[in-house]
Amino acid sequence: MHPSLSLEKSKIKILLLEGVDPSAVETLKNAGYTNVEYDKKAYDGQELLDKIENVHFLGIRSRTHLTREVLQHAKRLVGVGCFCIGTNQVDLDAAAELGIPVFNAPFSNTRSVAELVTGEYLQLLRDVPARNALLHRGGWKKAAKGCFEARGKTLGIIGYGHIGTQVGIIAESLGLNVVYYDIENKLSLGNAKQLASLDELFAAADIVTLHVPETELTHGMINADAFAKMKNGVFFVNASRGTVVEIDALCEALKSGKVSGAAVDVFPKEPAANGEEFVSPLREFDNVILTPHIGASTEEAQCNIGIEVAQKLALYSDNGSTLTAVNFPEVSLPAKREGVSRLLHVHKNVPGVMRQINEVFASKDINVAAQYLQTTGDVGYVVMDIHSETPEEIVPLLKQIPATLKCRILY
Ligand X SMILES: O=C(O)C(=O)COP(=O)(O)O
Ligand Y SMILES: NC(=O)C1=CN([C@@H]2O[C@H](COP(=O)(O)OP(=O)(O)OC[C@H]3O[C@@H](n4cnc5c(N)ncnc54)[C@H](O)[C@@H]3O)[C@@H](O)[C@H]2O)C=CC1
What's the distance, Cα to Cα, between the start and end of the chain in Å?
A: 5
For position 61 contacting ligand X by CB under 6 A, the verdict is yes
List the strands of the sheet with 102-103, edge to edge.
36-38, 14-16, 57-60, 79-82, 102-103
Residue 262, beta-bridge partner list: 236, 288
User: For ligand X, which is the closer residue by CB, 61 or 345?
Assistant: 61
241 a catalytic residue? yes
Q: How far is the CB of 123 from ligand Y (least distance, A)?
A: 17
23 binds ligand X (CB under 6 A): no
Taking the C-alpha atoms of residue 39 and residue 29, their distance in angstroms, rounded to an integer, is 16
297 near ligand X, rule: CB under 6 A: yes
Exposed, middle or buried by CB within 10 Å (0-12, 13-18, 19+), for 260?
buried
> Given 241, 342, 345, 408, which residue is catalytic?
241
Q: Does 26 bind ligand Y (CB under 6 A)?
A: no
Q: Active site includes 73?
A: no
61 binds, among ligand X, ligand Y, none (CB under 5 to 8 A by kind): ligand X
306 in contact with ligand Y (CB under 6 A): no
Q: How far is the CB of 41 from ligand X (least distance, A)?
A: 12
C-alpha to C-alpha distance for 411 and 409, rounded to whole angstroms: 6
User: Residue 399 Cβ, how far from ligand X at the closest point, in Å?
Assistant: 36
Show contacts with ligand Y in window 169-198 (CB under 6 A). 181-184
12 or 116, CB closer to ligand Y? 116
**Binding to ligand X by residue 309, rule CB under 6 A?**
no
Sequence-ordered strand ranges (E) for 244-317: 259-264, 288-290
Among residues 94, 92, 89, the alpha carbon closest in space to that of 102 is found at 92
Rounded to 5 degrees, what angle do the CA atoms 29, 386, 12 make? 25
Which residues are CB-contacts of 136 (< 8 A; sequence separation ≥ 6)? none
- Partner touching 110 among ligand X, ligand Y, none, CB below 5 to 8 Å by kind: ligand Y
Residues binding ligand X (CB under 6 A) = 61-63, 84-86, 109, 293, 295-297
Catalytic positions? 241, 270, 293
Interface contacts to ligand Y, rule CB under 6 A: 85-86, 109-110, 113, 158-164, 181-184, 211-215, 217-218, 239-241, 265-266, 293, 295-296
